[in-house]
Amino acid sequence: MKISRSGYYGWVAAGCPERGAKDAVTLAAIHQIERDNDGNYGVRRVYQSLNKEHGIRCGYGKTARIMRENGIKAKIKSGYKPQTTKADKNAQAYPNLLDQQFNEKEKNRVWLADITYVRVNGKWNYLAAILDLGRRKVVGWAIGTNPTAELACKALRNAIRKERPPKGLIHHSDRGCQYTSKSYKKLIEDNYMTGSMSRVGSPYDNAPMESFFGTLKTESLYKHTPGSIEQLDRILRYWIDDYYNRRRLHSALDYKSPLFYELSRYLPFILSA
């Protein structure tokens, strides 16, 4: 019946209530979903996972009720945010070509870039990342002890090496000095990308990137604080490369993972070619 032991014994411990009998399979699946996702899924993603991944027909209201009655909810924390990027007033910025148009559906047409902070053993370290807007997939990232232009370049070089994007790709970032630096702009132009930058003081111009960093922190880094840069690297390799890119359901992709979205969108054309 695909019921976990813990779910079954939890039902027995509750005295085998009548409604609990009807909900036993669903509750067991919800517990499994939460274990598989480190307790990060709220009602929306649990509902989607039940219906799309576990084959259990369950309405949104019923999912919410079962989770509420059993004290199941997403476990998140918040934290202090230090400054990661600072604009260079003398640097020339690219125009804002994206203009908050985040409805791109094709891969490697728009990349978003940003840098965020990570506390490691009481000190701030930094993560530079590149997100493909069409797939909501992290295509390149790098970590370092300082938010430098070289760190940003390393993340972009990793993305270029993996994806080999076509000419004309729009690269969007904020106006931080890392992204307006000569070395970073040269990397963009040498790879035939078109630069785009947010307006001053407008984080909403790079909202999907901000959302990704928020998800990473609340679902992973605030729960599993790394004690060393090596441990941070292991955590990110698992959470970004294995979990987020391959398995985590994304609301902008109709609750598919970036990998499943890519396969469902492009694999039929590849096989028919």
> What value does the mean pLDDT of the chain take?
87
Domain termination site, one of 18, 44, 69: 69
* C-alpha to C-alpha distance for 181 and 179, rounded to whole angstroms: 5
Domain count of the chain?
A: 2
Separation between Cα atoms, residue 204 and residue 183, nearest integer Å = 26
- Which residue do the tokens 């001053």 mark? 200
Instruction: Answer yes or no: do 115 and 47 share one domain.
Output: no
Strand pairing of 110-120 and 123-132? Answer: antiparallel
pTM (2 decimals)? 0.75
State how far the Cα of 144 lies from the Cα of 120, in Å rounded to an integer. 11
Q: What's the chain's length in residues? A: 273
Domain identity same for 48 and 166: no
On whether residue 74 sits in a domain, the answer given is: no
In a domain, 83, yes or no: no
pLDDT tens digits for range 175-191 = 999 999 999 999 999 99
Determine how many CB atoms are found less than 10 A away from the CB of residue 195: 18
Please answer whether residues 155 and 209 qualify as being in contact, where contact means their C-beta atoms are separated by less than 8 angstroms. Answer: no
**Edge-to-edge strand order for the sheet containing 123-132?**
137-144, 123-132, 110-120, 170-173, 194-197
Q: What would the pLDDT profile of 152-179 be if each residue is shown by its tens digit?
A: 999 999 999 999 999 999 999 999 999 9
**Distance (Å, rounded) from C-alpha 28 to C-alpha 38?**
15
Tokens of 139: 């295509």
Residue 85 placed within a domain: no
Beta-carbon count within 10 A of 215 CB: 16
* Same-domain pairing of 53 and 115: no
Task: Count other C-beta atoms under 10 Å from residue 45's C-beta.
Answer: 18
pLDDT digits (tens, 9 = 90+) for 79-132: 545 555 566 666 789 999 999 999 999 999 999 999 999 999 889 999 999 999
Looking at the chain, the whole-number percentage of residues with pLDDT higher than 70 is 86
User: Is 61 a domain residue?
Assistant: yes
Tell me the per-residue pLDDT of 4-15, one tens digit each, with 9 for 90 and over. Answer: 777 677 656 666
Task: Using DSSP, state whether 125 is helix, strand or coil.
Answer: strand
Q: Are residues 177 and 128 in the same domain?
A: yes
Instruction: Indicate if 178 and 262 belong to the same structural domain.
Output: yes
Residue 77 lies in a domain: no
Tens-digit pLDDT profile for residues 49-78: 888 888 888 888 888 888 888 888 776 554
| Start-end of H helices in 113-257 | 149-163, 177-180, 182-190, 207-216, 229-236
- What percent of the chain has pLDDT above 90? 58
Residue 121 lies in a domain: yes
pLDDT of residue 129: 98
Residues 11/21, Cβ–Cβ less than 8 Å: yes
Answer whether residue 244 shows pLDDT above 80. yes
Residues of the domain holding 188: 110-266
